[in-house]
Structure 1
Amino acid sequence: MITPAPLPFRGSLPEASPPSDMAIYQLPTGTYETRAAFAFKGGSWREKRSFAATAVLVRHPGGDLLIDAGFGADVAAHVKAQPRLARAPYKALSTVSDQFDAAGYDRDRLRGVLITHAHWDHVSGLDQLRVPIWMNPSELRYAAEDGDGRVYRTVSQGREIRQYAFDDKPYLGFSCSYDVYGDGSVVVALAGGHTTGSVIVFVTLPTGKRYAFIGDLAWQLEGVTRPAERPWLMRKLADCDEDQVRDGLRRMASLKDLMQIVPSHDLSAYAGIPLLPGR
C-alpha cells in the first residue's frame, strides 16, 4: 500500500469542449500472462493475470489519434528481443492494422500514434502503421538510448516523428501538459517515473464521461484503487524513478471516483469502451 493514503480530489475538473461527434474505441491485439504478485504489491502468487495489449482510437473531427499500438505482425520477434526473464506466454489477436482493414477504416483520418511510452508492448504494432509517431523529447531520448527501446528503434525506422512540447500548465496535479486539439478533449500530461517521458492521456467525451489512459504508471487497477505500487524487484527492473511513480499513483487514486482510469495492461479497465465497428 502507498502511504499516506491519498485524499479524494476536491477541486474543479478542467474545462473541456469535446465536439459532438467525438468517440473512442478499443482495439485489443492480444494478451500475455503474468502473476498478480509481479503486477502489484500484495498480489497473489497463485493468481494469473492476462495483461492486455490494447490500442485506443480517438475519433475527432480534427483528425483521429491512436493511443499506443498494441501487438504487431512481428510480435514473436519482439518478444524474443526481450531478456529471457522478461518473456511471458502470449496470445496474439488481430493487429490494429488488420482491424482497420476489417472495419473499412479510412486511414487518411489518422494523424498518428501517440505512445504512452516506448516499451515494446506499446509500440510493436507500429510495424504496420505508416503514420507519424507522436512523442515528447524526453521519451524520444529514452527510446534512443535505453535497452528497453530496442523494439521501438526497429519499428520506428523510416517513420515521421512528431515531437510535441508540453506547456508549463499543470493538469490535475501533473506539472505540465499538452492539449492536442485545443478544446480540452484530449490532454497529455507528463507523468514520468516508469520511463523518463511516460505520459497519461486524459480524454473527455461529449457525454461528459472522462478517461485517464495511464500507460504503465500501474500495470493493474489495484495500483490505483488500493493504491499499491509494483513489488520491490519489479520497481527496480521496470521504473526509472520510484518516487515519481508513487506521486503519480497518489494523484490518480485521488481521481478514481471522477473518471475511468485505464492502466494499459488491465483487461477489466477497458469495460464500456466499444470495439471499432465493422463494415
Structure 2
Amino acid sequence: MSSLATPAAWTGPLPEANPPAGVGVYHLPTGTYETRAALAVRGGSFSDKRPFAASAILVRHPKGDLLIDAGFGVGLARHIAMLPWYMRAPHEAGRTAAEQLDAVGYDRGRLLGVVPTHTHWDHTSGLDSLHGTPVWLNAAERRHAADEPDSKVFRHVSQDHEIHSYDFDGGPYLGFPASHDVHGDGSVVIVLAAGHTAGSVIVFVTRPSGKRYAFVGDLTWQLDGIRRRVERPWLMRRFADEDPASVREGLLRMIALEDLMHIVPAHDLGAYDGIPHLTPGVSG
C-alpha cells in the first residue's frame, strides 16, 4: 500500500462561524449496498465486504433546513436497473428520507432544498419521494448532470424538482478555492471540491456548541482514505473520478483538517456514529 505524503496539519484559525440556537444535524440512513474494500481504498482486502451507506443528512436552521444528499428512494429497484450491470451491487433498503421525515411529523415546508454532494444515483435516488423540494446545484454540477451517463438516475428523479442554482461567492475556505455561505452566519458553508464530478462539493456545518462537521461526499468512499492517507485504487480512480488529481488535492486538504472536525465520507457507515437520528421531539 502506498500512502500519500502527510500534509501539514491546519494551523491557521478556523473560519468564523456564529450558528444560532437551533442549528442541529441529524442522520437519515436509507440503506446500504455492498462493496469490497479492495475496490474502495488502496490496500483494501477482497475478503473485506463493506456496507456502503446511502444516507441523507438533515441540517436544521432557524432560517430554513437543508438535506445533504437524498439516499435511496422508493423506486430504488428501478434506479438500480438503470445502472450498468457491473454497478449493481447487493443492497438493503431502509426507509426513505421522506418516510423518516414524515414519521416524526416534520414540516417539509421548512426544507429550503436538497444539496447533493454530486448527482450520482446513490446520492439522489431519494429525490423521487421528496416531491417539490428544490435541488441545489452549482453551475458545474448542473452541466455534469445534464450530459453525463453517470447522472442518468438523477435526470429521471429530478424531473418534478425546481433546480436552485447557487454560486461560489464567498472566496477560499479551509484551503478550498471557492465557497458559498448558505445563511451568512458560517453555520453551513458549501465549498467546491471538484474532481469526482465537475461540481462535487463538501458541506461544512458548525453547531452552536462549536462542533464542526465536514460532509465530504465521495472525496473518499471510506474513512480509511483520511486515516491511512490512501486514494481509491488506480482502476477505480480511472473509472469513478473525472479528475483524479483534483480529488487527491481535496483529500490532502481534508487530511490536514482531520483533528479539527468530524469528517463524514458519504459511504462510510461508521463515520455517522454520534450523529443522532430524527425523533418526534425535533420534528419542529
* Structure-2 residue corresponding to 1:278: 280
Q: CA-to-partner distance for each residue in 1:118-173, whole Å, 9 max, x for gaps?
A: 00000000001121000001000000000001000000102100000002510000
State the shift of 1:2 in Å: 4.1
Q: How far apart, CA to CA, are the structure 1 residues paired with 2:60 and 2:188?
A: 11
Q: How far apart, CA to CA, are the structure 2 residues paired with 1:274 and 1:146?
A: 35
State the shift of 1:7 in Å: 1.6
* Structure-2 residue corresponding to 1:77: 78
Instruction: Determine if contact 2:66/2:112 at 8 Å carries over to the other structure.
Output: yes
Q: How far apart, CA to CA, are the structure 2 residues paired with 1:275 and 1:257?
A: 24
Give the letter aligned to residue 32 of structure 1.
Answer: Y
Aligned pairs for 1:85-100 (under 5 A) are 85-100=86-101
Q: How far apart, CA to CA, are the structure 1 residues paired with 2:203 and 2:160?
A: 26
Q: How far apart, CA to CA, are the structure 2 residues paired with 1:263 and 1:168?
A: 24
State the shift of 1:98 in Å: 0.7
Number of residue pairs the alignment of both structures matches = 279
Classify 1:168/1:15 alpha carbon distance in 2 versus 1 (closer, same or farther; 3 Å).
Answer: closer
TM-score normalised over the length of structure 2: 0.97
Give unpaired runs (5+ residues) of structure 2.
none
Which has the larger displacement, 243-252 or 161-170? 161-170
Q: How far apart, CA to CA, are the structure 1 residues paired with 2:161 and 2:212?
A: 31
TM-score normalised over the length of structure 1: 0.98
State the shift of 1:3 in Å: 3.0
* Structure-2 residue corresponding to 1:262: 264
* Structure-1 residue corresponding to 2:34: 33
Q: CA-to-partner distance for each residue in 1:165-217, whole Å, 9 max, x for gaps?
A: 00251000000000000000000000000000000000000000000000000
Q: How far apart, CA to CA, are the structure 1 residues paired with 2:34 and 2:23?
A: 33
Give the letter aligned to residue 256 of structure 2.
Answer: S
* Structure-2 residue corresponding to 1:20: 21
* Structure-1 residue corresponding to 2:56: 55
Q: How far apart, CA to CA, are the structure 2 residues paired with 1:277 and 1:19?
A: 21
Q: How far apart, CA to CA, are the structure 2 residues paired with 1:47 and 1:153?
A: 33
Structure 1 segments (4+ residues) deviating >4 Å = none
Give unpaired runs (5+ residues) of structure 1.
none
Q: How far apart, CA to CA, are the structure 2 residues paired with 1:205 and 1:17?
A: 9
| Aligned-partner SS, 1:257 | helix
Q: How far apart, CA to CA, are the structure 2 residues paired with 1:242 and 1:17?
A: 35
Instruction: Determine if contact 2:179/2:192 at 8 Å carries over to the other structure.
Output: yes
Check if 1:101 corresponds to 2:102: yes
